[in-house]
Amino acid sequence: MDEIGDNQYERMSLPVETRRAFLKAVGATGALIGGGGIAVAQDTPSFEFGGVTPGWEGRTPSSIDGETNPTLELSVGQTYTIVWENVDGLPHDFVILDANEEEIVGTEIVDEQGATLTLEFEATEEMAEYYCSVHPASMRGAIQIGDGDPDDGDEPFIPEGPSVELETVAEGLVSPTNFVVAEEQRDRRFITDQTGQIYVHGPDGVENEPFMDISDRLVNVGVNGYDERGLLGLAFHPEFESNRRFYVRYSAPLRDGAPENYDHTFVLSEFRATTDLRRADSETERVLLEIPQPQFNHNAGDIAFGPDGYLYVPVGDGGDGDDTGLGHVDDWYAGNDGGNGQDVTENLLGSILRLDVDDTQCGKPYSIPDDNPLVGREGFDEQYAWGFRNPWRLSFTDGELFVADVGQERFEEINIVESGGNYGWNVKEGSRCFSTDSPETPPENCPTETSSDVRGGESLIDPVIEYPHRHDGESIGISVIGGYVYSNDTIPELTDTYVFGDANGGLFAASRPADDTEQWSMERLVVESFDRYVLAFGRDHDGELYVLTNEQGTVDGETGTVQKIVPTE
């Protein structure tokens, strides 16, 4: 998934044990991590938070308990106390801003897990937001000065849409990353856990024995719990029932000869199932591709076969922030530093790859489709499209390739990707200009196409769906989690809409406009008591959709679930 912080951190591996369970009824969702015995003097009103990269976790008072980045309602002249605990051991501070994003008061940055800091202040009319300066996109909430509901009289940026319910079908996972099906007659689905396991979900629930476990081939997963590495992608060959082949992408330790100070190796491999198709044979691994990754984040995750029979593989820009720094090359745009998103000649980062896994070519364990856009031109033949930051999820519907690309400072985006398309990063973030010098205050104007000496001057294609991280003090999202077009009629209000989410727990449906030059309209799905981090989506043979979540947004614990989207009773 992304990001959710764009800094390099020391990494500490955490051991994880997993259990699975199957529920036949709707399961209750859990509260966000929090609680704990922080003692606070009661002579002033106080707020307690847990500081974790995906967002500030409200603890007390009860009005913010279990909320992520809750709105703080303050009265001018009143003294307040903020007490926050560093939950994940990454660098955090707590800063209060005015409407111009100038700091009013704040704490120091601490990176010690379990450390607690206290901030006492007097509320003033100028106070507008609070945030973590290290993770400003995800750890950010509004401040409302005065009495009453801050939303009274105001329409939300994304209007409410249909109400749905979530039926829990699997739980006890750590951080589920995929829920996919194979082209076969068996009634089963496959769930991947970021910690390295593939589980079979059948009529009686999740089988105890994994279909495959490659945890011993992974880098040590867990940056004090939060990590973007691990078992990230799974796709079954269209003829799996006869050839037994399937494909996974995972994060392995650095290979010999990798560039100095790089973080890990992205591995794309083919495996085969046993002859009865009940289990994978982990000894059949055939490595197709290895890409050195400079950072632990922006790896992208999904892989999928298209209707043309080719394997599509999204690759992130290499991580850290801005598409700059270690492992990021220079590109054609002098207005920004970096970056891999706009480059097609130095590496495969920041792009969508398209591979023919049924053939070999020039010593490679795959071949290149003849109609890939850079065949016979300057650039890597594997690349199908480029200009991406962290294209975490992708899916096909009626031949259209939907790619959700996680944003950095201001916007999240979903693109319908075409061959040879350039989707803008890091010249743009979504449809807006981006600046490596001032990511939160970029210029109004920037190129809308490459220079004429770069592949003839190709257009920078804007997304079909876009939303901001925040709008007028309202928190909208932090990291887009791509989904699927809902092609079923079980929930008629969702039919033909693109259903997706945001890591902060938002679930959305987007509708195609009559005019294809316009962006799709969005609605927020109404789900009762849904306080979880969204990690991925899945789709079964019937076109029904599933949401993969956990309570922490990190790679630890056993709170990971798979929940089916169902109509309200």
Evaluate if residue 29 carries a pLDDT over 80: no
Neighbour count for residue 26 (Cβ, 10 Å): 15
Number of H helices, E strands in the chain: 1, 38
Evaluate if residue 148 carries a pLDDT over 60: no
pLDDT, tens digit, for every residue of 474-504?
A: 889 999 999 999 999 999 999 999 999 999 9
CA 371 to chain centre: 30
The per-residue pLDDT for 492 is 98
The per-residue pLDDT for 137 is 78
Judged by average pLDDT, the poorest of 37-41, 446-450, 535-539 is 37-41
Judged by average pLDDT, the poorest of 69-78, 258-267, 348-357 is 69-78
Residue type, 262: Y
The per-residue pLDDT for 438 is 92
Evaluate if residue 5 carries a pLDDT over 70: no
Contact, 501 vs 484, CB < 8 A?
Answer: no
Across residues 352-375, what is the average pLDDT? 97
Exposure string over 82-93, b if 16+ CB within 10 A, otherwise e? bbbbbbbbbbbb
Task: Name the more confident of 396 and 470.
Answer: 396
The per-residue pLDDT for 32 is 26
Residue 374: CA count within 13 A, CB half-sphere: 22
Task: Name the more confident of 11 and 553.
Answer: 553
* Domain range summary for the chain, segments of one domain joined by +: 46-145, 175-479
Judged by average pLDDT, the poorest of 68-82, 203-217, 231-245 is 68-82
Judged by average pLDDT, the poorest of 11-15, 220-224, 254-258, 487-491 is 11-15
pLDDT bin (cut points 50, 70, 90) of residue 30 is very low
Across residues 346-370, what is the average pLDDT? 97
What is 46-145's CATH number, 1.25.60.10, 2.60.40.420, 2.60.40.10, 2.40.160.10?
A: 2.60.40.420
Nearest-angstrom CA–CA distance, 231 and 21: 20
Nearest-angstrom CA–CA distance, 30 and 472: 30
The per-residue pLDDT for 135 is 87
pLDDT bin (cut points 50, 70, 90) of residue 150 is very low
Judged by average pLDDT, the poorest of 41-45, 372-376, 385-389, 453-457 is 41-45
Question: 490-496: long-range contacts (C-beta < 8 A, 24 or more apart)?
Answer: 490/544, 490/566, 490/567, 491/162, 491/164, 491/565, 491/566, 491/567, 493/161, 493/162, 494/162, 494/164, 494/565
Residue 174 is given by DSSP the state S
Measured on CA atoms in the order 370, 371, 375, 377, is the torsion positive or negative?
positive
The per-residue pLDDT for 223 is 67
pLDDT bin (cut points 50, 70, 90) of residue 224 is low
Candidates 274, 280, 278, 324; CA nearest to 298 is: 324
Evaluate if residue 42 carries a pLDDT over 80: no
Q: What CATH superfamily is the domain 175-479?
A: TolB, C-terminal domain (2.120.10.30)
Across residues 323-329, what is the average pLDDT? 94
Judged by average pLDDT, the poorest of 10-19, 54-63, 337-346, 462-471 is 10-19
Evaluate if residue 465 carries a pLDDT over 90: yes
Name residues whose C-beta falls within 8 Å of residue 414's C-beta, 6 or more positions apart in sequence. 402, 403, 404, 405, 463, 464, 465, 466, 480, 482, 498, 500, 510
Chain position carrying tokens 């913010």 = 64
The per-residue pLDDT for 352 is 99
Chain position carrying tokens 């290149």 = 368
Candidates 141, 60, 50, 35; CA nearest to 88 is: 50
Residue 387: CA count within 13 A, CB half-sphere: 30
Across residues 376-395, what is the average pLDDT? 98
Percent of the chain at pLDDT above 70? 91
pLDDT, tens digit, for every residue of 508-533?
A: 999 999 988 889 999 999 999 898 99
Nearest-angstrom CA–CA distance, 298 and 553: 16
Evaluate if residue 91 carries a pLDDT over 70: yes
The per-residue pLDDT for 14 is 29
Across residues 464-468, what is the average pLDDT? 97
pLDDT, tens digit, for every residue of 557-566?
A: 999 999 999 9
